[in-house]
Amino acid sequence: MWATVANATVAQPLQNASAPVDLKVGLNVVFEDDVERTCTPSYTDGRRSCACQVSERGFHVDRTATVDQPWLPMLTGSRLLTISLLAAVCVSPACSSTPRRPALASSGAASTPDDSRSGRAINADGNQVADGAPSTRDDGRLPRTATPLRYDLSLSIDPTQSTFRGTARIDVTLAEPTRHVVLHGRGLAIKEAFATVAASPALAASKRLATVTQRATAGARGGAIEELVLAFESPLPAGSATIELAYAAPFDDELSGLYRVKENATWYAFTHFEPTDARRAFPCFDEPEFKVPFTMHVTVPKGIRAFANSAEQRRVDDAQTTSFHFEPTKPIPTYLVALAIGDLDVKEVHRAAPPAIRIVTTKGRSEFGSLALEATSGLLDTLTEWTDFPYPFGKLDIVAVPEFAAGAMENPGLITFRDDLLLLDPRRASFSARRSQALVIAHELAHQWFGNLVTAAWWNDLWLNEGFAAWMESRAVDRWKPAFGARLDAAAAHLRVMNVDGLGSARAVRQPVVSSSDAGEAFDAITYTKGAATLTTIEQWIGEKTFQDAIRSYLRTNAFRSVHADALFRELDKASGKNVREMAATYLDSPGVPEVSTNALCNNKRVTGSSRWHVELGQQMWLPLGSNAKLDPSKTWTVPVCVRAAGQASLQCAELAQGAPAIVAGTAPSCPAWVHPNPTGSYYRFTPSDDELMHLARARKQLSVPERVSLLSNMWASVRAGKRSPAMLVRVLPLFDDDNERHVVAEIASILRDASDTLVEPQARPAFRAFVAERMKSRKKAIDWDASGSGSPSTARTPDEQSALMRPDVLGTLGDVADDPEVLKQAEIFAREWLADPARVDSNLALVAVPLASRRGESAHIAALAAAARTAPTREDRILALRAMGGFDSPAVLEQSLAYLLSDAVRPHEVRHVLGAALSRRASRAPTERWIRAHWDELRTKLPGSLSGSLVAGAQAACSSEEIREMNAFYTERAQHIEGAARRLAEALESASLCASLRSHGAAALTEALKPAPTIPRR
């Protein structure tokens, strides 16, 4: 028999030991062969003692813990007692070895810096699992070894250097004694890691060194090393501890994590962490469930500034450096932590009420910040009023970042934006740029409530953040600047996302996320736009006021917490008395678009003077022609359907549930001439018969804007589904020729472009051009380049918002689809003037003219555009020049122009402007895609990591099985090596396959319909 070394955590009797306490003892023994046994009985009913026994292979550990005994090791928290190791007794004659010494070393014994294992080099081979460490989890989460309570980050950042240093101190709670703490870190060189066991009134804190191994998470594709496993010699006791890691890391080169940017010979550093890149900047528990305060200290070279999420508390100058100390933040998840560092300018807007709003820009650019400040101020007030919850995060800075992979990021207190979105010239900015700016600012501000105040606990519920922000942005902008027509734009976007959702490769809004790669893929149109469309459908179903009340309650109840979707549905169900949870699940948990069938019937009762009408409703899944998705009859939605009959202001509504048909009915003086099957813009498609469609189209003046847009969109969807002949385009679109409402014109332009891409045979092209020109003729008159018709910039009219926003659709369609020589000639005149001096041309005109002027451009035009990009006075001018570089029709000239992309003159994040423009047009799409393949390696070098993801979208240029095979052979293997590219490729190839099906099914019918009607000879 032998007894153990005594535990060395000496403790004093509890204060006021006679008071009842909740007692918890932890007994943790690690045996020689690494078998670990823990015993943690706890009594919460005021009992004053409890017993604990552990037996393993002949060893027996047995102790009774009593509140009053002085050896009770420590008091943690308010009333928790923790004993980490009491005694080990051999009770068997067979005992032949002893429990492993480290386990029996006292849990509180301090390691010293000269410990032979201290500061040991980190094994970064990534596959080594720390001795006995908890394994990785298949769901992509961290093993729950510790829960963070707060962070204290000290960073030393000099943007002129290639690396930075940091120390992360993280207060954690350990649920039970453990030898291991697992957290995230990617590409960090850990210099030292240790834990300080929480001090108690009785104990000095003790430092416990850890060895660190790095490993891949279970779900990680490509084996990305993202977890740090801290292994301690002996178990840390349950309760509070502080983990501290000192490290160095390179600045990131993929515009994520902490990265640096050079502008005008000056270096800056910025951050972008969502979804899982905070781990590239500091060791952390990088999951959105963990929301805790961050206190940041940033040391930078003297003369430059640092900004963080919270307000600067104090600044300390040293000989060479300045240290910025910031106030603790409100509880936030790691992905929302943000920094901006450099010789930055700051400008503040005057506001009557808090918060103060400042714009932070690179040197000398704050003069372009006034429009953004004005929009931020106005939209913030709008959102505060809608949510009935004051801005939650104290200070508010918006930051214009010169190189930025995303459009913007909602970091509380320090919202970052791509600078072209934020910095506009208040004298010259186009309405289109102002509108985009308002939308992106509204989106990021909406996140301050949806995502930042209440956070989705895991990435599978990302729609709680992004669907809401996308939904809210158009509401907020609509209230702030109705002229932008944002809510109607959103309704049109909800119709368009059905094309993505109808693909067999579409993902569900909510689906398992088990890796960083999965989390990255979730940031797509399905999460944002289908998420927003689902919220709109719920809102229409339960009523706007009820919806708003429920959301306000959701925000109040869950403020500063992370939640699952249940928290939202609880409020919606309660407020509405309906089963919103069940209804929403049919949209969120699987991909696909419901199609509602309508059969309108009417009984004309002339005697009574009124007619009774009804519409029989059914549902099925909408599928495009040639879809490889299975038509699953068991897949049904809960569809709230409303219809509007001719001459009636009120809607008749019903719910389609579980596949059962339903009926809506009404009475009218006579049988209604038409019934609109979706006046509320809910998430479903409908397919009226050709006759019903013609009735509705002829009655278009009685339809609202959303009703007209939805009618046109559904007509085109039924052509794409093979349920309607493309010949109907030729009958229906002319009925809308006198409709100059911008959203209607945009929908018509979109249909004409799609038809041009998919359905027009070469021999029908001239007739189709003439058809398109005819559709836009009267609209062109209304919004022509200039009032005098002289085509001179000096007589150009100053457009109102509507015509400015409509011009790209009308003149762009005429130039691109109808090849209208007059439009192209005028564009060239305006572009020449703009190239000489951008300020001489109204920006609203330039943004249409400059890209169109490239169509017939020669090589010399490339140099002119490159010069314009280089000397552009504003970001809007520069992007315009870049877009125009993707606009040449001649493949040879286009190829020369695209070569400019590979030069240093185009920044990585700007490549999208050129390629996006080139891939958006029929004439340049195929040559651009071929160019991407020919320069694949150079592009991959220019666009490291996931920045290359959009390159595979070129595969959508295919529209025949032969082309699709070619694309498959080139892209499929390559896409495997780019995060998020595999899904994009699958969608692009499927769209290409649908294009091929539609062409072979419908092109001949359109050709036939476009033939001039035979003239009847006169007698």
Nearer Cβ to Zn ion, position 528 or 771? 528
Nearer Cβ to Zn ion, position 562 or 586? 562
State in angstroms the smallest separation of the CB of 293 from Zn ion. Answer: 23
State in angstroms the smallest separation of the CB of 467 from Zn ion. Answer: 9
Contact between 469 and Zn ion by CB under 5 A: the answer reads yes
Candidates 62-70, 338-346, 459-467, 776-784: pick the segment binding Zn ion (CB under 5 A). 459-467
* Whole-number Å distance between alpha carbons of 966 and 991: 15
Closest CA to 325 of 305, 296, 301, 360: 296
Asked if 317 and 302 touch (Cβ cutoff 8 Å), the reply is yes
State in angstroms the smallest separation of the CB of 274 from Zn ion. Answer: 9
Residues between 191 and 210 that touch Zn ion (CB under 5 A): none
Nearer Cβ to Zn ion, position 425 or 466? 466
Nearer Cβ to Zn ion, position 85 or 440? 440
Phi, psi of 676 (to 5 degrees): -90, 125
* Whole-number Å distance between alpha carbons of 316 and 306: 12
Nearer Cβ to Zn ion, position 672 or 949? 949
Closest CA to 229 of 240, 239, 218, 215: 215
Nearer Cβ to Zn ion, position 254 or 466? 466
What does the DSSP 8-state code read for residue 200?
A: B
DSSP 742-800: HHHHHHHHHHHHHHHHHT--GGGHHHHHHHHHHHHHHHHHHT-SBTTSS--GGGB----
Instruction: Please name the residue that has the structure tokens 């292994």.
Output: 231
Contact between 339 and Zn ion by CB under 5 A: the answer reads no
Candidates 195-203, 223-231, 464-472, 539-547: pick the segment binding Zn ion (CB under 5 A). 464-472
Asked if 593 and 502 touch (Cβ cutoff 8 Å), the reply is yes
- How many Cβ atoms from other residues are within 10 Å of residue 364's Cβ? 12
Nearer Cβ to Zn ion, position 382 or 756? 382
Nearer Cβ to Zn ion, position 410 or 784? 410
- Provide the mask over 906-945, with x wherever binding to Zn ion is found by CB under 5 A and - wherever it is not: ----------------------------------------
Asked if 122 and 82 touch (Cβ cutoff 8 Å), the reply is no
Phi, psi of 433 (to 5 degrees): -70, -40
Nearer Cβ to Zn ion, position 529 or 678? 529
Closest CA to 772 of 790, 756, 792: 756
State in angstroms the smallest separation of the CB of 275 from Zn ion. Answer: 11
Closest CA to 542 of 642, 663, 644, 649: 642
State in angstroms the smallest separation of the CB of 466 from Zn ion. Answer: 5
Candidates 63-71, 397-405, 462-470, 926-934: pick the segment binding Zn ion (CB under 5 A). 462-470
Candidates 23-31, 468-476, 545-553, 720-728: pick the segment binding Zn ion (CB under 5 A). 468-476
State in angstroms the smallest separation of the CB of 308 from Zn ion. Answer: 21
Q: Is 813 helix (H, G, I), strand (E, B) or coil?
A: helix
State in angstroms the smallest separation of the CB of 369 from Zn ion. Answer: 21
State in angstroms the smallest separation of the CB of 291 from Zn ion. Answer: 18
Q: Is the peptide bond before 328 cis (omega within 30 degrees of 0)?
A: no
Distances (CA, A) of 273 to 247, 256, 259, 404, 779: 18, 6, 10, 12, 46
- Site size with Zn ion, rule: CB under 5 A: 2
State in angstroms the smallest separation of the CB of 562 from Zn ion. Answer: 16
Q: Burial, 204: exposed, middle or buried (Cβ in 10 Å; 0-12, 13-18, 19+)?
A: exposed
Beta-strand relationship, 294-301 and 147-156: parallel
**Torsion over CA of 442, 445, 450 and 451, rounded to 10 degrees?**
120
Residues between 106 and 135 that touch Zn ion (CB under 5 A): none
State in angstroms the smallest separation of the CB of 447 from Zn ion. Answer: 6
Nearer Cβ to Zn ion, position 857 or 980? 980
Minimal CB distance residue for Zn ion: 469
Nearer Cβ to Zn ion, position 400 or 542? 400
Nearer Cβ to Zn ion, position 451 or 502? 451
Candidates 94-102, 469-477, 500-508, 807-815: pick the segment binding Zn ion (CB under 5 A). 469-477
Beta-strand relationship, 80-82 and 163-174: unpaired
Asked if 268 and 340 touch (Cβ cutoff 8 Å), the reply is yes
State in angstroms the smallest separation of the CB of 443 from Zn ion. Answer: 5
What does the DSSP 8-state code read for residue 238?
A: S
State in angstroms the smallest separation of the CB of 957 from Zn ion. Answer: 29
Contact between 621 and Zn ion by CB under 5 A: the answer reads no
Integer Rg of the chain from CA: 33
* Whole-number Å distance between alpha carbons of 806 and 64: 81
Nearer Cβ to Zn ion, position 466 or 876? 466
State in angstroms the smallest separation of the CB of 444 from Zn ion. Answer: 7
Nearer Cβ to Zn ion, position 54 or 409? 409
* Whole-number Å distance between alpha carbons of 129 and 190: 16
Candidates 167-175, 460-468, 545-553, 639-647: pick the segment binding Zn ion (CB under 5 A). 460-468
Cα 586 → chain centroid: 22
Q: Is the peptide bond before 275 cis (omega within 30 degrees of 0)?
A: yes
Asked if 741 and 804 touch (Cβ cutoff 8 Å), the reply is no
State in angstroms the smallest separation of the CB of 828 from Zn ion. Answer: 39
State in angstroms the smallest separation of the CB of 56 from Zn ion. Answer: 52
Q: Which two tokens stand for residue 513?
A: 């996320």
Residue 347's H or E segment, with its range, is strand 345-349
Nearer Cβ to Zn ion, position 466 or 819? 466
- How many Cβ atoms from other residues are within 10 Å of residue 983's Cβ? 19
Residue type, 866: A
* Whole-number Å distance between alpha carbons of 207 and 243: 10
Candidates 461-469, 544-552, 678-686, 923-931: pick the segment binding Zn ion (CB under 5 A). 461-469
State in angstroms the smallest separation of the CB of 532 from Zn ion. Answer: 11
Candidates 64-72, 335-343, 458-466, 966-974: pick the segment binding Zn ion (CB under 5 A). 458-466
Nearer Cβ to Zn ion, position 469 or 675? 469
Beta-strand relationship, 396-401 and 414-418: parallel
Nearer Cβ to Zn ion, position 200 or 416? 416
State in angstroms the smallest separation of the CB of 469 from Zn ion. Answer: 4
Candidates 139-147, 467-475, 736-744, 781-789: pick the segment binding Zn ion (CB under 5 A). 467-475
State in angstroms the smallest separation of the CB of 278 from Zn ion. Answer: 17
Nearer Cβ to Zn ion, position 422 or 884? 422
Candidates 375-383, 463-471, 642-650, 832-840: pick the segment binding Zn ion (CB under 5 A). 463-471
Instruction: Please name the residue that has the structure tokens 């740090």.
Output: 228
Residues between 203 and 242 that touch Zn ion (CB under 5 A): none
Candidates 303-311, 465-473, 801-809, 962-970: pick the segment binding Zn ion (CB under 5 A). 465-473
Instruction: Please name the residue that has the structure tokens 């020729």.
Output: 737
Beta-strand relationship, 685-686 and 593-605: parallel
C-alpha torsion sign, points 837, 843, 849, 854 = positive
Candidates 19-27, 466-474, 746-754, 777-785: pick the segment binding Zn ion (CB under 5 A). 466-474
Closest CA to 85 of 21, 9, 145: 9
Binding site for Zn ion (CB under 5 A): 466, 469
